[in-house]
Amino acid sequence: MNATLRHVRYVATENPVTLGAFLLFSFFVLLALLGPWIAPYDALASNTEAALKPPSAAHWFGTDSLGRDILSRIVVAARLDFGIAVSAVAASFAIGSALGALAGFFGGWADRIIGRVADTIMAFPLFVLAMGIVAALGNTVANIVLATAIINLPFYIRVARAEVNVRRNAGYVEAARLAGNSDLRVLALHVFPNVLPPMMVQISLNMGWAILNAAGLSFIGLGVRPPQAEWGIMVAEGATYIISGEWWVALFPGAVLMLAVFTFNLLGDGLRDIMDPRMRT
Amino acid sequence: MGDGGVEAAYIPPLLEVMDLSLEFRTRSGTVHALQGINLSVERGETVGIVGESGSGKSVLSFAILRILDASARVTSGTVSFAGMDMLAASEHALREVRGREISMIFQNPRTALNPIRRVGKQIEDVLGTHTSTLRADMKQRAIEALAGVRIPDPERRYHAYPFELSGGQCQRVMIALALACSPQLLIADEPTTGLDVTTQAAIMTLASGLARERRMATILITHDLALASEYCDRIVVMHAGHVVETAPTAELFRHPRHPYTARLIASTPGPTQGIDTLSSIPGNLPDLRRGDLPSCRFHARCDRAKDDCVSRPLPSLPVRCLYPL
């Protein structure tokens, strides 16, 4: 345990970008966990007298058309946006990597069927597919998670399949078989852990996409509904005011959204370095 | 085996391969990889299998454990190990044998260890699969196994990852893994290939010493005749999927009877021999995909070959040659 912590510290200090990504990530996690308690105002309380006020000492990020504090809404929305992204990515990772690993390890008809499923999903424009799923199943958070998980599935299937496939005949896999392990045990215990470091990069990149996707769905009116605080809706609501000069309504939630995606993209490499013991020198 | 039997019963060898033939069905044709293989290994005996690359040495060892590619078909013969019919046994029964009764070490020890698992844990994996070692004793047993293969500072090495060890140490770990469950038979497939010469000697001395201590039978697969001559009781020579000759080591080297064996010995460099006087065997292995493989697969490369070598059935072991030396 101690060695792991020391390794995390080593990876973080070795690469300042990774350190920055970890700090930003912890910041977002704190926002998601503590949001409602640290937000300066009630995210849903409107105050028409203070509507569309530019950033000031009282409202750092200004207020929106109903006079709600934008900073508070951004802080509170972190939990929802992160929740959607994390659960969607967790679902597609669990299912996609298991399917991909089976396809890559056993080949044959399993590979063909799973590969075609992935191809079929990929054949759709993914965002349109997500729109279709949410539109068909109904406008709920659970359906946004489901849609996001489904459109991300092929990426996990493909990465897991490719990474498992190149290791299928590795010496240690052969050795594990010769030592009397069953195929599934070899796959789960010896091949799959070796595939995790490259999967980690995929997970992290995917988190960024998942957040963008959830925000995008809300932006076009599918998914989370007003008055719920959510970054995508906030950008959508603010978009109409950009022309009339109230830039802060859309800018701040958009910037936070961008920062979150950026954080996840940087985090991937750092996570891989932590997962891979060969980096521990 | 019960001791004190009344009748002087025939004790079957530990491993007996009889008339084993195996082929691979590939897109470019059927490869007749093994044909009519006979091999027996007694308890505690060290048998060397020698032959050039592609002669079927490794396929044979995988066939014994029945770890075969999906395209492989055993077309005839039997493999019995300690009374068990390996070719008919269930997959479950085979898993019990693999790693516990028959272990294997092979070349490139670096790639044969899981790169992201600590070596101590890998030994524990094997113990956990095959023995009823208590969880609390696992670590101690793993450290003992590392100490048993003379790895210095085993408590510290227990926590090492394979990439932190040298090639020789990795092979020691492989041996520790292979011997963790005290198997009756160790198959060493080119165990010293890729190691430098001093490490080779150390690994072989270690492996043969441990085999003797435990009265464990060993099959040493190698193309290095000098290595085989040093450590084996008996040598089996393979060529193009045939066993061509078998004899006790000293006898084989003193008086090789199959022309292939003789050429193989003649093409082993000695310390006093210059490269220009070293003989080589002309030609290549025949294409094993041919449907009309000659009865003796060496005949095209053989200077003693006569016309009937192509068609007449070969005599059985110890020398499968119609015109032996």
Confidence category of residue A97, pLDDT binned at 50, 70, 90: very high
Closest CA to B103 of B123, B88, B121, B118: B123
Least confident of A56-70, A126-140, A165-179, B161-175: A56-70
d(CA A266, CA A272): 11
Read off the pLDDT of residues B213-236 as tens digits, 9 standing for 90 and up: 888 889 989 888 888 888 888 999
Min CA distance, A53 vs chain B (Å)? 56
d(CA A124, CA A137): 18
pLDDT at B70: 80
Which amino acid belongs to residue B154? P
| Lookup: tokens for A258 | 């961008």
A40 preceded by cis ω (within 30°)? no
For residue A193, the chain B residues in CB contact (below 8 A) are: 114, 116-117
Confidence category of residue B2, pLDDT binned at 50, 70, 90: very low
Read off the pLDDT of residues B140-198 as tens digits, 9 standing for 90 and up: 888 888 888 888 888 888 888 888 888 888 888 888 888 888 888 889 888 887 778 88
**Residues A49-54: what's their mean pLDDT?**
77
d(CA B203, CA B220): 13
**Residues A190-207: what's their mean pLDDT?**
86
**Residues B282-300: what's their mean pLDDT?**
76
d(CA A218, CA A192): 36
d(CA A108, CA A200): 27
How high is the mean pLDDT of chain A?
86
Give the residue with greater pLDDT, A4 vs A261. A261
pLDDT at A137: 92
Min CA distance, A254 vs chain B (Å)? 40
pLDDT at B4: 47
Min CA distance, B108 vs chain A (Å)? 8
pLDDT at B8: 57
Write the DSSP assignment of A17-63 as a string of letters.
HHHHHHHHHHHHHHHHHHHHHH-SS-TT---GGGTTPPS-SSSTT-B
Helices (H), B39-157: 57-64, 91-97, 109-112, 119-130, 135-148, 154-157
Interface test with A, best of B96, B114, B118, B181 (most A CBs within 10 A): B114
For residue A167, the chain B residues in CB contact (below 8 A) are: none
pLDDT higher than 90, residue A87: yes
CATH hierarchy code of domain A2-39+58-279? 1.10.3720.10
**Are A193 and B117 inside 8 Å of each other by CB?**
yes
pLDDT at A100: 93
Interface list for chain A against chain B, based on CB atoms closer than 8 Å: 170-172, 174-182, 189-190, 193-194, 197, 276-278, 280
pLDDT at B273: 67
Give the predicted TM-score (pTM) of the model: 0.77
Q: Tally C-beta pairs within 8 A across A and B.
A: 72
Domain ranges of chain B: 15-232
pLDDT higher than 90, residue A272: no
**Residues B58-79: what's their mean pLDDT?**
85
Confidence category of residue B1, pLDDT binned at 50, 70, 90: very low
d(CA A117, CA B188): 43
pLDDT at B300: 76
Domain ranges of chain A: 2-39+58-279
Strand order in the sheet with B217-222: B102-106, B185-189, B217-222, B46-50, B234-239, B242-248
d(CA B61, CA B236): 13
Q: Closest to A180 (Cβ–Cβ): which among B98, B117, B161? A: B98
Check: CB of residue B102 under 8 Å from CB of residue B89.
no
Read off the pLDDT of residues A179-193 as tens digits, 9 standing for 90 and up: 888 888 888 888 998
d(CA B165, CA A90): 36
Read off the pLDDT of residues A67-76 as tens digits, 9 standing for 90 and up: 788 888 888 8
**Residues B55-84: what's their mean pLDDT?**
85
Instruction: For B15-232, give the CATH class.
Output: alpha beta
pLDDT at A279: 66
pLDDT higher than 80, residue A43: no
> Searching chain B, which residue's CA lies closest to the CA of residue A175?
B112
Min CA distance, A177 vs chain B (Å)? 8
pLDDT higher than 70, residue B274: no
Confidence category of residue B266, pLDDT binned at 50, 70, 90: confident
Closest CA to A258 of A196, A202, A216: A216
Sort strands B217-222 and B185-189 into parallel, antiparallel or unpaired.
Answer: parallel
d(CA A268, CA A203): 7
pLDDT at B164: 86
